[in-house]
Amino acid sequence: MSKKIKVTVWNEYLHELENEEIGAIYPQGIHGTIEAFLSKEGDMQVRCATLREEEHGLTQEVLDQTDVLIWWGHKAHDQVDDAVVDRVHQRVLAGMGLVVLHSGHFSKIFKKLMGTTCSLRWREAGEKERVWVVEQGHPIAQGLDHYFEVPNSEMYGERFDIPEPDTLVFISWYEGGEVFRSGCCYQRGRGKIFYFGPGHETHPIYHQKEIQLVIKNAVRWAQPTFSLAQPLSGDWVPPLEPLA
Ligand code: ZN
């Protein structure tokens, strides 16, 4: 049996507890919904972590046991401890995959990895979002048609202040006329990062099969391709050949 991908789903987990309608869409929290559909995959072993836990549930021990971290946050980005952000950052550079969802665009960890403001235009009108696959051969787009639609979404529009993605997999169009780079791949150090736009908490977006497929694909794409225990090389070394 091949080794399972160790996934940690991190959620701020505040909206679901504070707002009844959101709690009804995600009775186990957004993280619980994501954990449930990922756990059905035979090649993934999934755990969750949330903001209010000690060290936000992201102790060194947990990160050492994480191949791919999924991140959903919105209203409490500033409550995430800088020491935890640094720890996650180091782990990404060492090779851990990171999948940043929706309003995670403004999280400390995403902004740190991007080095830009990551600001965007937005509108909460429950309008239709059409997600276009612009890189059909990409592993994250496997199993999708030319496009799929999210019936009710929050508009996220350009300009999205991110560095140019290494690969742009999706572009979204919204009923109100804007477009958005909604599926962006990056590499930082040894780690692979995927940003995925859809996921506003007042709509049942993480229950949609195409959205679930993208997240499953993204986890497999972002998994480390070598041992994370391998140290980053930064040592003085003798020459391989004798120097004249
Ligand atoms: Zn939102």
Residue 19 lies in a domain: yes
| C-alpha 157 – ligand 1 centre gap (Å) | 12
| C-alpha 225 – ligand 1 centre gap (Å) | 32
Structural domain count of the chain: 1
Residue 241 lies in a domain: no
pLDDT of residue 231: 74
Q: Rounded mean pLDDT of 110-131?
A: 98
CATH number of the structural domain spanning residue 47: 3.40.50.880
| C-alpha 63 – ligand 1 centre gap (Å) | 26
Q: Rounded mean pLDDT of 79-102?
A: 97
Out of 27-36, 60-69, 98-107, 218-227, least confident range: 218-227
| C-alpha 103 – ligand 1 centre gap (Å) | 6
Residue 27 lies in a domain: yes
pLDDT of residue 149: 98
Residue 166 lies in a domain: no
| C-alpha 154 – ligand 1 centre gap (Å) | 6
Residue 163 lies in a domain: no
Entry pTM: 0.96
Residues in the chain: 244
**Can you give the residue range of the structural domain that contains 45?**
5-115+184-222
d(CA 18, CA 52): 14
d(CA 188, CA 208): 30
| C-alpha 102 – ligand 1 centre gap (Å) | 7
Residue 121 lies in a domain: no
